Amino acid sequence: MKELKKVSWRSPSNIALVKYWGKHGNQLPSNPSISFTLDQCYSETSLSISEKESKNSKDKGLELKFYFDKKENLAFRIKILSFFEGISKDFPFLSKYALSVNSTNSFPHSSGIASSASAMSALALCLVEMNSKLSGTKVKPDTDKLMKNASYYARIGSGSASRSIYPVASLWGAAHGVKGSSDEYAIPYEKQVNKVFKTYQNSILIASSAEKKVSSRVGHTLMKTNPFAKARYKQANENLTEVLDALKSGDLEKFGTITETEAMTLHALMMCSSPNFILMTPSTLAMIEKIKAFRESTKLPLYFTLDAGPNIHLLYPENIKSKVIPFIQADLSEHCENGKIIWDKVGKGPASIK
Ligand code: PMV
């Protein structure tokens, strides 16, 4: 069938500084979170529409083909179909046309990097741009309204994806004292951030690329019965206030201390869920010990954070790069699976691809 319209977006992954872990309702967070937007880890996604082949198509009126790395992918298709079904009343074109989604990641699928934030944010950007094109409103791709809408729908696809919409840093969830913050979408946080963070480095040390034993979806659900949930949500709000302070002043020690505590808390919550689980590996722990010892002996502001997985995200300012890289190569790379490291940094946010 002839393609009628096509939109394409590149959108990055992000790394949370204060973590979102626990949700309620339709993908609403139990505490506010903030992240750095990454640069090198991104998805490129296109959405095209054509006339439907038959009027009585299956899938509740949705006709979708999904390609990952140019190959049809049925497992991803099922996930996207259920996402589209959930939002189809807001996007009438989804059931009117035959849809084709093509997606690729800049990082290997099995690298242990969560792809849902980049993938769902890229797809949400495609949805809102396509919708505005079809409605003839001619909204420019990067207007505030389009971005806010994209963040809203990215959130429905994957909570953390809501934050990938904005450059440098983004905050999601109603936060005390942060004007405009909302549980429904993320807001840009670049302007409030000290310039030292705009070129911050994020070296991702791949301890293991094996598929996670417990998904984030299950992890969020287990917070409902976690005996420490209430204390955690209180702590997350307090840590957010502290991190926002550090992001503004450029206090790297305060910034790093909180981000490490957030990482350890996230994993501690997993370890005391019922059933409990551990996503760190012996390599993760070995690297953490070495990072702490390096910081102690050099007094350099090298800190780490963790996602819901075993890989270490090293966070450090650009001006100590020449001292940190040799340390990573000499002492940490031996703990990485096949020596795998992704050299990322804070990035400029999504871009429409022409
Ligand atoms: O967006 P989800 O449902 O994959 O959850 C992400 C959870 C963490 O990555 C662990 C934390 C966060 O805030 O990104």
The residue extents of the domains of the chain are: 3-193, 196-345
107 Cα: distance to centroid of ligand 1 (angstroms): 18
The arithmetic mean of pLDDT across residues 59-75, rounded, is: 89
Mean pLDDT taken over the chain: 94
Give the model confidence (pLDDT) of 210-241 as tens digits: 888 899 999 999 999 999 999 999 999 999 99
pLDDT of residue 354: 87
Which CATH number fits the domain 196-345, given the four candidates 3.40.190.80, 3.10.20.740, 3.30.70.890, 3.30.2290.10? 3.30.70.890
For the domain made up of 3-193, give the CATH fold: Ribosomal Protein S5; domain 2 (3.30.230)
Residue nearest to atom 4 of ligand 1 (CA): 216
Q: Which residue has the tokens 């690298």?
A: 111
Each residue's pLDDT tens digit, 77-134: 999 999 999 999 999 999 999 999 999 999 876 666 767 999 999 999 999 999 999 9
What integer is the mean pLDDT of 286-299?
98
Pocket test for ligand 1, best of 13, 19, 269 (most atoms within 8 A of CB): 19
Predicted pLDDT at 108: 73
pLDDT of residue 58 exceeding 60, the answer is no
- % of the chain with per-residue pLDDT over 70: 95
Instruction: Report CA Rg, the chain.
Output: 20
Decide: 16 in ligand 1 pocket, CB within 6 A. Answer: yes
Ligand 1 pocket check for 29: Cβ under 6 Å? no
Count of all residues that appear for the chain in the document:
354
pLDDT digits (tens, 9 = 90+) for 168-223: 999 999 999 999 999 999 999 999 999 999 999 999 999 998 888 899 999 999 99
- Ligand 1 pocket: which of 20, 83, 121 to mutate (most atoms <8 Å of CB)? 20
The single-letter DSSP state of residue 329 is I
As a whole number of angstroms, the distance between CA 143 and CA 206 comes to: 36
Atom of ligand 1 nearest to the CA of 18: 13
The SS3 assignment for 35 reads: strand
pLDDT digits (tens, 9 = 90+) for 294-315: 999 999 999 999 999 999 999 9
Strands, E, within the chain: which ranges? 3-18, 23-24, 28-29, 33-50, 63-68, 71-72, 98-105, 169-172, 186-188, 201-205, 303-306, 312-316, 341-345, 351-352
Phi-psi sector, 59: left (phi>0), alpha (psi -120 to 50), beta:
left
Is pLDDT of 26 > 90?
A: yes
> In the predicted model, is pLDDT for residue 70 greater than 60?
yes
pLDDT of residue 53: 80
Residue 139 — pLDDT band, cuts 50, 70, 90? Answer: low
- Residue 212 is predicted with a pLDDT of 84
Looking at residue 136, what is its pLDDT? 79
